[in-house]
A and B are shown apart, each in its own frame.
Chain A
Amino acid sequence: MRVHLPVPLSLVLLLAVACAADSGEGALSQASFGAGCAGGGACVGNLDAPLAVGSRLPLRVDLQIPGTATPPLGLVSAAPDVFSVADNVAEAHAAGVGALLLFGPEELVLDFIHLWVAVPEDLGLTRRSEDGDALGSLTPQLALYPGDEVLFSVEAVAGGQDLLGEFPVSVTGGGSTVSVVGAGVSRWFRIRALAPGQATLAIEALGLGTEVQVEVLP
């Protein structure tokens, strides 16, 4: 029997599983660093790409020292002009690389990892299944029937690589033909075809923009 979860719930479960598996081993092999899911934002994957300039990335740390539970921890950027850290959230400021230091009790550095920051060049649109799986790039022209829905996410891209980080996205232009609503996860949206006609959706983020032409067939 296949159980159909409500979309927001299935997304949360998917992202939680993704987060649990994602990590980046520290230079001293004593901690793993990953993208966190705290604060109600999206879990954006592990640290397998640079952060996009202008974005924020919640961070997660798992200490791996045998025989001890996690002590009080603090994260500090060694390159605050490249990225800063506050309340376990990294904010990317400029292209470059810098160390993310993990401090423990008595100001001991327990581990560190180097994070990369890159300037986004394009916005990528990824079509998503109802289970949250990536289905490939969203085509710039869509033909839908009234009642059809399309779920997609917006990525910052540089050199063909999807960058990490959360950032505000604006989607406008649906008119009476289509509606566009947030899908409950940062940077994820749902297009719903309302009535026959044509619409141009303008998607803007991080100073970049792209468009999707939507035709709703009779």
Chain B
Amino acid sequence: MRLPVPVAAAVLLAGCDAIYLDAVSEPPPTKRARIYGDDKKVVISRGVALAVECTDNCDGPCRAAKLRSRNEGVIAVNKGYRFAGVARGEDEVHNAAVFVLVGVSPGSTELEVESDCTDDTFSVEVVP
């Protein structure tokens, strides 16, 4: 069966839409704060903060980025501000795709991440 070209292109593009979370900070010694991108999983220690940046394969830094915790009692999500020029030497002044995660209490939940391009879900494990 042959698909019409526009439909095939749409299927192809839909399959390529991807959204990522990348860590832009480090955990303190003895604690964990890491994103396992291949597994779409966040592991963070209780009481630790982790700055993350949302990117997608449409725009680079996510446009209209949203990040939501399905259980704020396990992991809290705060909007962040990052003057990218300081950290990366790029000509950006306000990266609205930065968030700061905080491990609130041990447990598991999920993060919903969304941009104007696509969306996805990351599993979360908060460890003691």
Contacts and interface: CB of A to CB of B under 8 A. Distances in A.
Given A29-B87, A78-B48, A79-B47, A114 B82 contact: no
Contact of A109 (B86, B100, B103): B100
Given A29-B87, A112-B100, A97 B28 contact: yes
A109 B81 contact: yes
A196 B82 CA distance: 65
Interface in B45-87: 46-49, 51, 76, 78-83, 85-87
A79 B25 CA distance: 18
Given A97-B48, A98-B47, A30 B82 contact: yes
Interface residues of B, number: 26
Contacts of B46: 79
A66 B47 CA distance: 29
A98 B28 CA distance: 9
Contact of B31 (A66, A97, A108, A109): A97
B81 A114 contact: no
Interface in A53-89: 64-66, 78-79, 82
Interface residues of A, number: 25
A30 B115 CA distance: 25
B48 A107 contact: no
A104 interface: yes
Interface string A90-124: 00000011110101101111101010100000000
Interface of A: 27-30, 64-66, 78-79, 82, 96-99, 101, 103-104, 106-110, 112, 114, 116
Interface of B: 24-28, 30-31, 46-49, 51, 76, 78-83, 85-87, 100, 102-104
